[in-house]
Structure 1
Amino acid sequence: METQAATRVVAPRTSEGFEYTFPAIRGIQAGREFYVSMCPLRLIPKIFIFDEDELTPELRAQRVLNKGRLPALAKYILDNPDDYVFSALTASVDGDMTFDSHATEGPGMRTGQLHIPMDARFLINDGQHRRAAIEQALKENPDLGDETIAVVFFHDAGLARSQQMFADLNRHAVRPARSIGVLYDHRDEEAKAARLLSTRCPVFKGYVEMEKSNLSARSAKMFTLSALYYGTQALFQGLEVKPDEAAKLAQSYWESIDQTIPEWSMVRNRELPAQEMRRDYIHSHGIALHALGRIGNSLFRESTAVTKWKKRLGPLEKVDWSRSNVDWEGRAIVGGRVSKSHQNVTLTVNYLRHHLGLPLSPEEQRVEDAYLRGDA
Structure 2
Amino acid sequence: MSDKWVYTLPAARGVQAGRCFYNVAMPMRVLTKLLRIDDGETLSRSQRLVNPDRARKVAQYMLNHRDSYIIPCLTGVIETDPTSPESVQFHMLGNETFIGQLSIPMDAQLKLFDGQHRASGIRLAIQEASELGQDSVPLLLFVDMTLAERKMAFTDINQNVSKPAQSLSDAYNSREALPQLAVELANELCCFKGLVDFERNTITAKSAYLFPLKSIKDATATLLSLNAKTATISETNREVARVFWQSLSDALKWGGLWMENDEPATVRLQTIKTHTVMLKAYALAGQWMLCQLGEVNALPYERFAALDFSRDSSDFMHRCIQPETGRMLSDSTAIRLTANKLMMQCGLPLTPESRQLERQFFGWNVDLEIHDLVNACLPNVEADLTSIIGDKFVIAMKAAGKTLQESEVADYERFLKAVIAADSKPERFAHLGVMKSEVRKHFA
What fraction of aligned residue pairs are identical, expressed as a percent? 28
* Matched letter for residue 112 of structure 2: I
Q: Are the equivalent residues in 2 in contact too, given 1:220–1:274 (CA < 8 A)? A: yes
Q: Are the equivalent residues in 1 in contact too, given 2:308–2:314 (CA < 8 A)? A: no
Deviation at 1:201, TM superposition (A): 0.6
Which structure dedicates a bigger proportion of its chain to strand?
1
Deviation at 1:250, TM superposition (A): 1.1
* Matched letter for residue 253 of structure 1: F
Cα 1:295/1:116, change in 2 over 3 Å: same
Structure 2 residue 144 is matched with structure 1 residue 156: yes
SS at match of 2:251: coil
Partner residue in 1 for 2:245: 254
* Matched letter for residue 116 of structure 1: I
Which structure dedicates a bigger proportion of its chain to helix?
2
Partner residue in 2 for 1:321: 309
Q: Are the equivalent residues in 1 in contact too, given 2:320–2:330 (CA < 8 A)? A: yes
For the residues of structure 2 that align with 1:84 and 1:304, how far apart are their CA atoms? 40
Q: TM-score, structure 1 length as denominator?
A: 0.81
Deviation at 1:143, TM superposition (A): 2.1
Partner residue in 2 for 1:117: 105
Partner residue in 2 for 1:359: 350
Partner residue in 2 for 1:55: 41
Of 234, 238, 244, 2:235 maps to: 244
Partner residue in 1 for 2:23: 36
Cα 1:124/1:254, change in 2 over 3 Å: same
Alignment of 1:269-288 (within 5 A): 269-270=260-261, 272-288=262-278
Partner residue in 1 for 2:378: none
Cα 1:138/1:277, change in 2 over 3 Å: same
Q: TM-score, structure 2 length as denominator?
A: 0.70
Structure showing greater relative contact order (alpha-carbon pairs closer than 8 Å, 6 or more residues apart) = 1
Of 66, 69, 75, 2:60 maps to: 75
Partner residue in 2 for 1:3: none
SS at match of 1:46: helix
Q: Are the equivalent residues in 2 in contact too, given 1:227–1:285 (CA < 8 A)? A: no
Cα 1:77/1:344, change in 2 over 3 Å: farther
Q: Are the equivalent residues in 1 in contact too, given 2:91–2:101 (CA < 8 A)? A: yes
Deviation at 1:32, TM superposition (A): 0.4
Of 130, 136, 146, 2:118 maps to: 130
Alignment of 1:182-197 (within 5 A): 182-197=170-185
* Matched letter for residue 287 of structure 1: V
Q: Are the equivalent residues in 2 in contact too, given 1:350–1:360 (CA < 8 A)? A: no
Q: Are the equivalent residues in 2 in contact too, given 1:353–1:360 (CA < 8 A)? A: no
Q: Are the equivalent residues in 2 in contact too, given 1:198–1:208 (CA < 8 A)? A: yes
For the residues of structure 2 that align with 1:187 and 1:193, how far apart are their CA atoms? 11
* Matched letter for residue 9 of structure 2: F
Q: Are the equivalent residues in 1 in contact too, given 2:197–2:213 (CA < 8 A)? A: yes
Cα 1:267/1:172, change in 2 over 3 Å: farther
Q: Are the equivalent residues in 1 in contact too, given 2:76–2:142 (CA < 8 A)? A: yes
Per-residue Cα deviation, 1:287-343 (whole angstroms, up to 9, x for no partner) = 2222322222333445653343x23x4442343333313665664356654344445
* Matched letter for residue 209 of structure 1: D
Partner residue in 2 for 1:26: 13
Per-residue Cα deviation, 1:67-107 (whole angstroms, up to 9, x for no partner) = 34344333322221111111111111222652232335232
Q: Which moved more, 1:178-187 or 1:341-350?
A: 341-350
* Matched letter for residue 25 of structure 1: A
* Matched letter for residue 67 of structure 1: P
* Matched letter for residue 240 of structure 2: L
For the residues of structure 2 that align with 1:331 and 1:160, how far apart are their CA atoms? 52
Gaps of 5+ in 1: 1-11
Alignment of 1:81-100 (within 5 A): 81-95=66-80, 97-100=87-90
For the residues of structure 1 that align with 2:200 and 2:362, how far apart are their CA atoms? 35
For the residues of structure 1 that align with 2:157 and 2:45, how far apart are their CA atoms? 15
SS at match of 1:206: coil
Cα 1:203/1:38, change in 2 over 3 Å: same
Partner residue in 2 for 1:13: 2
Q: How many residues align?
A: 352
